[in-house]
Structure 1
């Protein structure tokens, strides 16, 4: 029986692991700090538009709390800037076949890179032989230890999953097993030929994350997002990088997440970068979102001044303890010169 080791059981990983557990699918949730301790001691409180559950999840705070086996699937669901630590921590862990060590996780187990951005798949190949990218469409929030708020129902999330690189031979049976298990847990699953086309599409969608995190509700930032996204898509086009079209995205959104109010919570809750500032984590994943556009631009002799500056502002905001809304949309537009 396939077991999913979900490393980074925050908003996305917590929703996945909680839903798998709720539907009788074997999963272990891995989280650090107060959140991890709360999962171990009290289980996961999973709040959705329709449910308020406390699930007795299997949980651990690190690899010493898990005995890996041959039928495990590793799911990395941290932020991208935390992925390297997670990969190095788990790649060399022993995998058991009964009482015998059969090899290491990096040699034997598939790893699913369930993160925003497009950098984690290549990073994972340094440590794991079998890498599968996951493009995530899952509106969820993690602000309090032991609790995750999944904001979509009845489908909590939509995932595109595929082997990385696309030219590598994929284990069709594994992909079909993941699809069957995760569909049973309520998710919508697609198995595209090239998952990276969807991850680059999502990269463009995630351009808004840092802007939303900086401005919060302090003004209308739609025009900033439009210009930053236009710059980003122009960079990808000039670099010859393929990405799924907005029309393809719209078609799939019809079967994907539908955000609805969660009782006791405001109608609007921010994305992953907003949550980083709201929780005061001291770090933020923007270097792998807007900063990824800056990197691609520089690699191809181009410029991306809007996204470059947004990445810088987000880094400074995280490092200095700024909160969403500490800067207004008008102030941000002036700083960006747009």
Structure 2
């Protein structure tokens, strides 16, 4: 399959890079500045003892001349509108789009633009960032990609394409539930670290911190349950242990964007979840608080 990876950042660059290493037919859709950097220095994956340099194919939006079989969409949610414009010419009648964006609202936008059949569900779990040199830096040994159809037959042809590429893959029978479970996880870790301006361990080690983290998690999980997608008990307890672990260096991508002075996915991770809670009659005062806090930050950035 011809694979187009939209975005060569922390998520797309990592998974796309692993697919390149595994010999898959991968092209990265990037902006001119990123294309020049990859041409000059390669696509570099570092951290945890790794120093990998790859030289993948890249393409600009106006250079796409034929549809691809699979589009791996791994941009930040705030870049989704422009990304859809850029990748439109790569989507044909049989193209599958696998988004790994946070939250759920991107699904509606992609369906409206490309149709329900084309849009899969996806969950990427990876702890990476992009440093000042443009390198993808691994922060923890977490690397998995779960995918599935949200209705109709599962895309079995992806098993051999995505599998065996150096990261864990799973074809899900209920990808929507998996997406909600991840949403609860990232909203909880994001709310705790962003609102308290610290790592999970720093918050958990402070009197009242673990209780606060649990209360945030309970709110997020209550929204998922009210929406008809309760987080499985084992997954929920694992998340509870994660957000209350004393000494944990864990942060969230939202927190790293916040302290780095970058745009935060406020509406996609927190605002949309809080809005759905109101529609479902589920009170979420802590989720409302972090949403307000980050909206103020976002307004200041603007």
Counterpart in the other structure of 2:253? 272
Instruction: Find out whether 1:110 has 2:96 as its counterpart.
Output: yes
Give the Cα–Cα distance (whole angstroms) in 1 for the partners of residues 252 and 83 of structure 2: 22
Give the Cα–Cα distance (whole angstroms) in 2 for the partners of residues 127 and 82 of structure 1: 15
Contact 1:143 / 1:275 at 8 angstroms: preserved in 2?
no
Residue of 152, 155, 178 corresponding to 1:171: 155
Give 1:321 shift: 4.9
SS at match of 1:206: helix
Counterpart in the other structure of 2:274? 294
Counterpart in the other structure of 2:228? 241
From the superposition, tell whether residues 206 and 269 of structure 1 become closer, same or farther in structure 2 (CA, over 3 Å).
closer
Instruction: Find out whether 1:124 has 2:148 as its counterpart.
Output: no
Instruction: Find out whether 1:78 has 2:70 as its counterpart.
Output: no
From the superposition, tell whether residues 300 and 249 of structure 1 become closer, same or farther in structure 2 (CA, over 3 Å).
closer
Give the Cα–Cα distance (whole angstroms) in 2 for the partners of residues 35 and 272 of structure 1: 21
Give 1:200 shift: 0.5
Instruction: Map Cα deviations across residues 267-325 of structure 1 (whole Å, 9 max, x no partner).
Output: 946432123224423x2113122222211112223332211220121232244359xxx
Looking at secondary structure, tell me which structure has more helix per residue.
2
Residue of 143, 168, 173 corresponding to 2:131: 143
Give the Cα–Cα distance (whole angstroms) in 1 for the partners of residues 219 and 235 of structure 2: 21
From the superposition, tell whether residues 24 and 185 of structure 1 become closer, same or farther in structure 2 (CA, over 3 Å).
same
- Structure-2-length-normalised TM-score: 0.83
Instruction: Map Cα deviations across residues 62-98 of structure 1 (whole Å, 9 max, x no partner).
Output: 31243334x531111011232232123322x1x5xxx
Matches within 5 A, 1:173-322: 174-176=157-159, 180-207=160-187, 208-214=189-195, 215-217=197-199, 219-220=202-203, 221-237=209-225, 239-248=226-235, 268=249, 270-281=251-262, 283-321=263-301
SS at match of 1:75: strand
From the superposition, tell whether residues 44 and 269 of structure 1 become closer, same or farther in structure 2 (CA, over 3 Å).
farther
SS at match of 1:280: coil
SS at match of 2:103: coil
Contact 2:5 / 2:72 at 8 angstroms: preserved in 1?
yes
From the superposition, tell whether residues 31 and 295 of structure 1 become closer, same or farther in structure 2 (CA, over 3 Å).
same
Counterpart in the other structure of 2:61? 63
Give the Cα–Cα distance (whole angstroms) in 1 for the partners of residues 162 and 236 of structure 2: 20
Give the Cα–Cα distance (whole angstroms) in 2 for the partners of residues 248 and 303 of structure 1: 22
Contact 1:199 / 1:243 at 8 angstroms: preserved in 2?
no
SS at match of 2:145: strand
Contact 1:204 / 1:233 at 8 angstroms: preserved in 2?
yes
Give the Cα–Cα distance (whole angstroms) in 1 for the partners of residues 237 and 24 of structure 2: 30
**What are the ranges of 5 or more consecutive residues in structure 1 without an aligned counterpart?**
96-104, 252-266, 323-338
Contact 2:71 / 2:98 at 8 angstroms: preserved in 1?
yes
**What are the ranges of 5 or more consecutive residues in structure 2 without an aligned counterpart?**
204-208, 239-247
Residue of 133, 137, 158 corresponding to 2:121: 133
Give the Cα–Cα distance (whole angstroms) in 1 for the partners of residues 95 and 64 of structure 2: 14
Moved more, 126-135 or 241-250: 241-250
- Structure-1-length-normalised TM-score: 0.75
SS at match of 2:114: coil
Give the Cα–Cα distance (whole angstroms) in 2 for the partners of residues 143 and 188 of structure 1: 24
Instruction: Map Cα deviations across residues 193-252 of structure 1 (whole Å, 9 max, x no partner).
Output: 110101101111012124324503594154332211111212232x2421441415789x
Instruction: Map Cα deviations across residues 129-175 of structure 1 (whole Å, 9 max, x no partner).
Output: 3111111111111232421012344xx511210012x3x33332x23
